[in-house]
Amino acid sequence: MGSGNGLEILPLILGASGVVMGVMFLLLTMSVVSWYIIGYKTLYLGRATRESQSFLDTFWGSKRMDAIYQASEALRRSPLAQVFRAGYVELTKIKGTTRGSQSPDQRAETDMGDVENIERALRRAMTTEITHLESMVTFLATTGSSAPFIGLFGTVWGIMNSFRNIGLKGSASLSTVAPGIAEALIATAIGLVAAIPAVMAYNYFVRRIRVLSAEMDSFSNDFLNIVKRHFFK
């Protein structure tokens, strides 16, 4: 019973050396931050997906750009809505300029430049939205790749201390070695506990962001085609 109580997890953690304790604290902090990011990004991407679907329904169901723009104001988390807003604002600026008495060739060249301006506005908006979607996700990748090695460092340090204690006591009995080895292995275990959910969540979020990115790209092409067909004849 005594040896069993001596190998309980909490006393081993509290009795760990300073370096191993620091490693455990760092890993626990990374784990807590990772779980916060997982919860936040799950809610954020879920809302972005729902609002994007709602925006698409509005976009394809309405024939007036200004009405779509007004509806998009309530869909702040939708990346598709933000891309549309950027393109619509640029289109409004272009259509508000006077062409004067341009020849057909000059008008065609001006129209081509205007379409390129709208396309650049759409691309800028897409880049901004992808940056928002990917924010904090890289921390999950960092945690997933580094936490096991940080835990391994704590394990190696703890085993070094165990061998040092063996040398100081001149005994290699189980009671001398076991607490130090157990303390060291806890660091690796915490590292794995921090890394595994982070890696799984990272892969999941990357897939969802990739889907939203593809939807933005497809919508940008559709929007440009509509603009060319109806505004630059």
pLDDT score recorded for residue 4: 45
Task: Supply the pLDDT for residue 229.
Answer: 82
d(CA 77, CA 98): 35
**Weakest mean pLDDT among 98-102, 138-142, 228-232:** 98-102
Give 57's contacts (C-beta < 8 A, 6+ positions apart).
none
By the 10 Å C-beta count (0-12 exposed, 13-18 middle, 19+ buried), 105 is classed as: exposed
User: Are the C-beta atoms of 41 and 136 separated by less than 8 Å?
Assistant: yes
Residue given tokens 């506990």 in the structure block:
193
Give the mean model confidence (pLDDT) for residues 148-171.
78
User: What's the whole-model pTM score?
Assistant: 0.79
What average pLDDT does the structure give for the chain? 83
Distance, in Å, from the CA atom of 182 to the CA atom of 8, rounded to the nearest integer, reads: 9
The pLDDT tens digits for 25-39 are: 899 999 999 999 999
Other C-beta atoms within 10 Å of 216: how many? 25
What pLDDT, in 10s, does the model give residues 62-85? 888 889 999 999 998 999 999 999
Residue, of 16 and 192, whose pLDDT is higher: 192
Helix H, strand E, coil C: the string for the chain is CHHHHHCCHHHHHHCCCHHHHHHHHHHHHHHHHHHHHHHHHHHHHHHHHHHHHHHHHHHHHCCCHHHHHHHHCCCCCCHHHHHHHHHHHHHHHHHCCCCCCCCHHHHHHHHHHHHHHHHHHHHHHHHHHHHHHHCCHHHHHHHHHHHHHHHHHHHHHHHHHHHHHHHHHCCCCHHHHHHHHHHHHHHHHHHHHHHHHHHHHHHHHHHHHHHHHHHHHHHHHHHHHHHHHHHCC
